[in-house]
């Protein structure tokens, strides 16, 4: 049986200024034929804070057939409610690294 057709609908990288936290925000989202988010990768990358895991300080994705969070190189499963919930968790997490100066 062939894998279902997925379409990448978001493929963004946003470079943050030093004032806004430095580093890069990466966002990738794929949907199925019904428009449902079935694959995602959200990451805050900053090699000045963490050099491991390709600089990924914090991230959420569902690769490897499970929903999980990356935090300074450690991976832990998360309870998946919705993609919107994951986006909110990601935003709250990466904002903790934002410079306040």
Higher pLDDT, 69 or 5: 69
3-state secondary structure of 10: strand
CA atoms within 13 A on the CB side of 99: 12
Average pLDDT of the chain is 90
Cβ atoms of 22 and 34 within 8 Å: the answer is no
Break the chain into its structural domains and give their ranges: 7-95
Span 44-83, pLDDT tens digits:
999 988 999 999 999 999 998 899 999 999 999 999 999 9
* Half-sphere CA count of 94, side-chain side, radius 13 A: 26
Res 64: pLDDT: 87
Per-residue confidence band for 2, with pLDDT thresholds at 50, 70 and 90: low
pLDDT given at position 9: 96
User: Are residues 23 and 16 in contact, defined by beta-carbon separation less than 8 angstroms?
Assistant: yes
């Amino acid at each position: 049986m062939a894998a279902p057709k997925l379409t990448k609908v978001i493929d963004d990288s946003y470079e943050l200024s030093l004032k806004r936290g430095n580093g890069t925000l990466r966002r990738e989202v794929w949907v199925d034929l019904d428009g449902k988010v079935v694959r995602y990768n959200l990451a805050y990358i900053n090699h000045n804070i963490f050099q491991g895991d390709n600089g990924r300080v914090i991230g959420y994705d569902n690769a490897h057939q499970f929903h999980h969070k990356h935090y300074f190189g450690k991976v832990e499963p998360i309870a998946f409610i919705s993609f919107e919930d994951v986006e909110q968790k990601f935003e709250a997490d990466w904002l903790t690294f934002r410079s306040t100066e």
